[in-house]
Structure 1
């Protein structure tokens, strides 16, 4: 049986066999017989809406002695909660920003957008109310003495798919527009078979202190996240915002305002058959409970194969089908603002399917898949997770291991 020391030695001398979960599943589907001798590490990833994301930021707000304490603050209009350190009279400020907080005058901009802007090196506007007056200044990530992202719960192993069984539209964070009645469409989340915890359901390797990439930057697993359970585990993680990839994070606008997009990548050392058996999980094996959005109580179950097998990860565009008399334009409703004025799609697209669902003239199209449950096939109208960037998170971990900058 291999040991972690064996794998670390292979990583150090660059002989470790490291593959992504996507590659492993492709080989399994082809019928290839894989043993622990064939692979040393499998990397996993997930990307999507993770509401439990926040940042602890600290920077110099003004000259020492100009104010005694900060009363309140916003960054690009997003509320920042002051503390815990009082920093009396030294001009410094500590604050926490929630990924789900919205800008005061723009609910389409929130903490997730702010974090991505900071990671991209963009200066943001700090409006600071102190006990002596107001300070307005620009601040960037490079100027901050500390900037740490904390994920209180992320990489959920098990999500639910949501539908609206009532006869009226319902606004919810699980839809980018009011959710249509009578189960006309479903909202789903989760990267299925490449998700870290689907491949390590007993958290054998996802333990406190283990390495991870958070938004592409080096981080650590702190332990289980809030609302974690043996049946539905999730993780809490922390990482410095410096070194994060702005395109591996961001904001996502729902019918109730902005949410936060976060990515997580991890690595599983293949020590024995027990580890490899867990890694054999496929989308077809992973249940997806289907619940009514009004009470979040499951009434049926589909599988992740309905979401990710034989479906399109990205959308196609036919601008010639566009007309000017639409009351709802997909360009205006895109939750990540990925549709350009000429209707081409930028790299910020995450294949969420909003444009496919909204556009009545089929300017945007994709095989979105359907949730197949007893007595109904429900079209998937929204994916709040992105399998493409989930796989990219796994690739970033793989590349980091290949470079030697990873140890178990």
Structure 2
């Protein structure tokens, strides 16, 4: 069986070698971006017995107790969602998590847990891997989850990995076509449960589940926005060439990117994913000679993923960098090309092709080695 990554395939097509697609069996596709519909389901076994948990907190972030009562067992089932991006990254990293339970009798119980101590730690995405998404602008300056800062008039942000996105490379005729697909979610083997919420044949997304204990923390994390903390995830799925040959031929220039008004999502105009993914930078460049040694480093303070560190007059960009472009927005030390859409400059990018392509490569390796059956 011949397996290639999606970027390897797209290079063949750009080189007018698309006839070689018939020599390929499977293409590993991927996407990475803000995926708000992310939840974690946990089961914990405390050292103290109590009747029933009423409230639960991980590092002071409140979850939802349920669904099993676990009466008089000192055990809790719970669900966490919402502003959990940095929390889930810490859990997957194996960091200690301060867990506090308030029982229905008013007792407060506190213990330290980590990923190994959680008896169950599973992620379920209710709306993952959208078949690309939208570019946003606004007719007034406003706080939004689609930008690190308030989105200003004349600016735009966008999401979607374009031609490498799994669903963009599939022909889906029925919502059940995706049920049972296996791939990788944040480095862990995952199962596609079916269509996600707000999904349709024209604009599908996926409901996916995977074990957080098997995940790699590089592929997920928190993303600060002016509308709150979001979470990004990375999904890689294999695509059968025999079933999806024509869809696999699409390039960024063939995929529309609607520009919408943040308020109501009214379509203003259409661009293409080539506008925002061709001739751009996946990561910023540093021009240290331009650093003014500010008392407070604006780039460090503003970075949505806390990836920029300034130590001993040295600027370091860690692997937590998402390539969003915010550092270049606030400081001339950083330069990154993000492209533009319908004449508007992109000032915040909420998808990361670098992570996506890395996971597509990892999926290819596991399929070839026989470590993941498809």
TM range (shorter): over 0.9
Conservation of the 8 A alpha-carbon contact between 1:222 and 1:235? yes
* CA offset digits 1:342-380 (Å, max 9, x no partner): 322111101000111122xx1000222111x2xxx1111
Give RMSD over aligned pairs.
Answer: 1.6
Structure 2: segments with no counterpart, 5+ residues: none
Q: Which residue of 2 aligns with 1:298?
A: 267
Which residue pairs with 1:219 in the alignment? 190
For 1:26, the equivalent position in structure 2 comes to: 11
Give the TM-score normalised by the residue count of structure 2: 0.95
2:246 aligns with one of 266, 277, 285: 277
Q: Paired residue for 2:158, among 188, 192, 202? A: 188
Q: 1:390 to 1:203 in 2, by over 3 A?
A: farther
Q: Is the 8 A contact 2:9 2:21 kept in 1?
A: no
Inter-partner Cα distance in structure 1 for 2:116 and 2:296: 43
Aligned to 1:78: 61
TM normalised by structure 1 equals 0.87
Give the number of aligned pairs.
Answer: 369
Q: What secondary structure is seen at the aligned counterpart in 2 of 1:380? A: strand
Aligned positions of 1:306-345 closer than 5 A: 306-324=275-293, 329-341=298-310, 342-345=314-317
Q: Is the 8 A contact 2:132 2:165 kept in 1?
A: no
- Deviation for aligned residue 1:326: 8.4
- The alpha-carbon distance between structure 1 residues 36 and 325, as it changes in their structure 2 partners (threshold 3 A), is closer
Q: Which of these residues, 87, 95, 111, is aligned with residue 114 of structure 1?
A: 87
Q: Deviations over 1:319-351 (max 9, x none)?
A: 221225588812101000111113221111010
Aligned equivalents of 2:225 and 2:214: distance in 1? 28
Counterpart Cα distance in 2 of 1:325 and 1:277? 53
What's the offset of the Cα at 1:385? Answer: 0.5
Structure 1 Cα separation of the partners of residues 189 and 165 of structure 2: 18
What secondary structure sits across from 1:141 in the alignment? coil
- Residue 114 of structure 1 and its aligned partner are, at CA, apart by 1.4
Q: Residue 351 of structure 1 is aligned with which of 323, 326, 336?
A: 323
1:93-132 to structure 2, matched below 5 A, reads 93-98=76-81, 100-101=82-83, 111-130=84-103, 131-132=105-106
Residue 135 of structure 2 aligns with which residue? 161
Q: Give the Cα separation in 1 of the matches to 2:38 and 2:145.
A: 15
Q: Residue 58 of structure 1 corresponds to which residue in structure 2?
A: 43
Q: Does 1:134 align with 2:100?
A: no
**Structure 1 position 92 matched with structure 2 position 75:** yes
Match of 2:234 among 260, 263, 270: 263
Distance between the aligned counterparts of 2:322 and 2:215, measured in 1? Answer: 18
